Amino acid sequence: MEPTTKIHIENLNVYAGKQQILKNINIEIPKNKITVILGPSGCGKTTLLKCMNRLTDLYPELKVTGKVMINDKNVLEAGEDIVKLRQYMGLLSQRPYPLPMTIYNNIAFGLKLKGVKKRRNLHKQVVRYLQQANLWDEVKNRLREPASRLSIGQQQRLCLARGLAVNPEIILADEPTSALDPISSQYIEEKFVELKNDYTIVLVTHVLRQARRIADFVVFMYLGEVIEQGTVEEVFGNPKMEKTKQYLGGTFN
Amino acid sequence: MKYSGKIEEKVFKILMVIATYSILAVLAIIIYSIFAKGIKALSWEILSQVPQGGYYYGKGGGILNAILGSLSLAFGATLLAFIVGLPVALYINVFLVRRKKLITLFRFILDLVWGIPSIVYGAFGFSMMILLGLQTSLLAGMLTVTLFILPIMIRSMDEILQTVPIGLSEATYSLGANKSELAFKIFTRQTVSGIITAILLSFGRAIGDAASVLFTAGYTDNLPNSLMEPVATLPLSIFFQLSSPVPAVQDRAYASALVLTLIILLVSLFSRGLGKRYHKTKINF
Ligand SMILES: Nc1ncnc2c1ncn2[C@@H]1O[C@H](COP(=O)(O)OP(=O)(O)O)[C@@H](O)[C@H]1O
Ligand SMILES: [Mg+2]
């Protein structure tokens, strides 16, 4: 069965002044799979991810051309509805950024933006998403504490819960385990595998083993270009391009 | 070459040390003389009464008119400057992120008007009053001082807002928030203690300035009772008492200066404490 495409990226170019950060990117990201974007530091993975929910808007020096199609809408040409479009995509960044409010309100914030108003309903959903992110047992007695008091691993799970609470279809994750201890990392990885039944997941990483463990599809990038993309078996088992072989073989320079 | 460089360095170091310690010494002398002369004349009477007839020639009474006048004027001006300034600072940092040049221009202009001496604000306020046919009053003084502290308020909040990490904006947008929600719900919360510091800093400037209230707030021996009436202020009260030929009244001027200094000291200590707490919580994540 052919997987259906969830995100369709066409001729995407990103410039920062004279420097070209992303060069003619064409990617199909399949629905309900984990697509891993793999590549050495500085190859443009984060920038690619930021194009998908147009956080590139925050960087005036970046110029973006091309198409990022999600649900038949070009994210790059969306007007005011970009605010709503972003709710299709939960974001998990390299470092957790809890909102400057209580643990409870970190989850409730997005729910309120979605129009959940009734207190009982709000509470029910906060509990549900904290449970889904395996955080409930650790925080159920401290919901009114500031989120910044949690450990980094807990904060990252809070950010996951917060992202899931706005009910996205896609999860964008930018090296979400790089700041975490091994146990928290393993938890996030396992969670992703579980979540892919309901979500389309785009995971950026430079950790080969992580990619091998959980990827369905792999996009290998180098210096702003997509070198190779395909299923994890294709790219890891039988890489076609020289650069990919070097990177996977660890003889990369 | 090498040798002369060393001598130069030594000379500069000595000059720096001399400059630093002589400034500290001058500050110490000022504070000492205010305390030494002021503490003698400081009494419950001076704090709790308004000037009686002939106060400036040695009769009884106090400076409650100026204390309450200064507090209400500075409080009002700070409140107004905050109400206007916070949205401006948020606008610069959240709405204008894509307009780097415009932001630079705004900051440049604000820094420029920050540097304008307060007597110019006083003169401007005075000419506006003439234009509108207004008398010296608490309101006129308040509005003039508001203008005077506005650049201080905006720029110090602006500096604090710039410390909000871009990752937090990204996280907030990705939850579906718009710019106003990011500005008023996230930026303000993230920087709350820094914003309070900016408010206290502005308050300190507002209460200590004489030139901006000289032509605009007027002076009176009565307690402030209406926005449209003249109001006494501590800096002017100090000035009038110091101009008295009677030594005892001059001592009262020092007592008034002591009161003003203590108010400013308290405010600045308070904002320091908040600043410390702010940095602590920032390291937290
Ligand atoms: N806002 C920006 N302005 C200028 N250059 C940038 C900007 N963002 C990223 N870059 C550059 O683009 C390249 C790719 O960055 P990034 O997408 O962060 O790579 P990765 O996430 O793969 O490490 C880097 O060389 C980086 O310096
Ligand atoms: Mg990156």
Tokens of B210: 């004489």
**What is the distance between the alpha carbons of residues B107 and B161, in angstroms, rounded to a whole number?**
13
Confidence at residue A2, expressed as pLDDT on a 0 to 100 scale: 53
Residue A229 DSSP class = E
Confidence at residue B58, expressed as pLDDT on a 0 to 100 scale: 83
Tell me the Ramachandran region of residue B195: left when phi exceeds 0, alpha when psi lies from -120 to 50, beta otherwise: alpha
Confidence at residue B276, expressed as pLDDT on a 0 to 100 scale: 66
Please identify which residue in the block is written with the tokens 């503490």.
B39
Per the CB < 8 A criterion, the answer to whether A132 and A190 are in contact is no
Residue positions counted in chain B:
285
Helix (H, G, I), strand (E, B), or coil: what is residue A10?
A: strand
**What is the distance between the alpha carbons of residues A51 and B216, in angstroms, rounded to a whole number?**
55
Confidence at residue B285, expressed as pLDDT on a 0 to 100 scale: 34
Q: Which residues of B touch A204 (CB under 8 A)?
A: none
Residue B284 pLDDT greater than 80, yes or no: no
Tokens of A155: 């904060």
pLDDT mean values, one per 10 residues, chain A (253 residues): 78 93 94 92 93 93 93 85 89 94 95 91 94 92 93 93 93 91 89 92 91 92 92 86 82 63
- In terms of Cα–Cα distance, which of A102, A112, A111 is closest to A141? A102
Residue A236 DSSP class = I
Sign of CA dihedral A196, A202, A205, A209: positive
The verdict on ipTM greater than 0.90 is yes
Neighbours of A200 (CB within 10 A): 26
Confidence at residue A184, expressed as pLDDT on a 0 to 100 scale: 85
- Which ligand 1 atom is the nearest neighbour of the CA of A45? 22
Per the CB < 8 A criterion, the answer to whether A68 and A252 are in contact is no
pLDDT band for position B2 (cuts 50, 70, 90): low
Helix (H, G, I), strand (E, B), or coil: what is residue B205?
A: helix
**What is the distance between the alpha carbons of residues A62 and B262, in angstroms, rounded to a whole number?**
51
Q: What is the pTM of this model?
A: 0.87
Per the CB < 8 A criterion, the answer to whether A31 and A47 are in contact is no
Evaluate: CB of A41 within 6 angstroms of ligand 1.
Answer: yes
Task: Determine the average pLDDT of the residues in B109-124.
Answer: 95
Q: Whose CA is nearest to atom 17 of ligand 1?
A: A44
Percent of chain B with pLDDT over 90: 73
Residue B283 pLDDT greater than 80, yes or no: no
Task: Determine the average pLDDT of the residues in B167-185.
Answer: 95
Confidence at residue A241, expressed as pLDDT on a 0 to 100 scale: 84
Residue B135 DSSP class = P
| Average predicted confidence (pLDDT) for chain B | 90
Confidence at residue A3, expressed as pLDDT on a 0 to 100 scale: 59
Residue B1 pLDDT greater than 80, yes or no: no
Helix (H, G, I), strand (E, B), or coil: what is residue A232?
A: helix
Ligand 1 centroid to Cα of residue B173, in Å, is 20
Phi/psi for A79 (5° steps) reads -90, -125
**What is the distance between the alpha carbons of residues A169 and A165, in angstroms, rounded to a whole number?**
11
Neighbours of A177 (CB within 10 A): 23
The b-or-e profile of B259-278 (16+ CB within 10 A means b, else e) is bbbebbeebeeebeebbeeb
Within 8 A by CB and 6+ apart from A105, the residues are A99
Q: Which of B180, B190, B285 to mutate to test the interface with A (most CBs of A within 10 A)?
A: B285
Please identify which residue in the block is written with the tokens 């709000």.
A122
Tokens of A16: 């920062």
Q: For A5-249, which CATH superfamily applies? A: P-loop containing nucleotide triphosphate hydrolases (3.40.50.300)
Q: How many CA atoms lie within 13 A of A90 on its CB side?
A: 28
Tally: H helices and E strands in chain B: 13, 0
Query: Residue A97 and residue B171: Cβ atoms within 8 Å?
Result: yes
pLDDT band for position B176 (cuts 50, 70, 90): very high
Task: Determine the average pLDDT of the residues in B171-189.
Answer: 95
**What is the distance between the alpha carbons of residues B24 and B17, in angstroms, rounded to a whole number?**
11
Residue B18 pLDDT greater than 90, yes or no: yes
Q: What type of residue sits at position B59?
A: K
Q: How many CA atoms lie within 13 A of B25 on its CB side?
A: 6
Ligand 2 centroid to Cα of residue B119, in Å, is 52
State the count of interchain CB pairs (< 8 A) between A and B. 77
What is the CA angle A205-A220-A22, rounded to 5?
Answer: 90
Q: Which residues of B touch A115 (CB under 8 A)?
A: none
Q: Whose CA is nearest to atom 20 of ligand 1?
A: A42
Confidence at residue A247, expressed as pLDDT on a 0 to 100 scale: 82
For B24-50, how does the pLDDT look when each residue is reduced to its tens digit (9 = 90+)? 999 999 989 888 888 988 999 999 999
Q: Whose CA is nearest to atom 27 of ligand 1?
A: A42
Phi/psi for A234 (5° steps) reads -60, -50
Numbered residues of chain A with Cβ closer than 8 Å to any chain B Cβ:
50, 53, 55, 57-58, 60, 83-84, 86-87, 89-91, 93, 95-101, 109-110, 113-114, 148-149, 155, 159, 162-163, 166, 172
**What is the distance between the alpha carbons of residues B240 and B233, in angstroms, rounded to a whole number?**
11
- In terms of Cα–Cα distance, which of A90, A136, A169 is closest to A123? A136
For B192-218, how does the pLDDT look when each residue is reduced to its tens digit (9 = 90+)? 989 999 999 999 999 999 999 999 998
- In terms of Cα–Cα distance, which of A15, A108, A103, A111 is closest to A63? A15
Ligand 2 centroid to Cα of residue B64, in Å, is 62
For B44-97, how does the pLDDT look when each residue is reduced to its tens digit (9 = 90+)? 999 999 988 888 888 888 899 999 999 999 999 999 999 999 999 999 999 998
Evaluate: CB of A85 within 6 angstroms of ligand 1.
Answer: no
Task: Determine the average pLDDT of the residues in B257-263.
Answer: 94
Per the CB < 8 A criterion, the answer to whether A12 and A47 are in contact is no
- In terms of Cα–Cα distance, which of A237, A226, A200 is closest to A7? A200
Task: Determine the average pLDDT of the residues in B249-264.
Answer: 93
**What is the distance between the alpha carbons of residues A247 and A43, in angstroms, rounded to a whole number?**
13
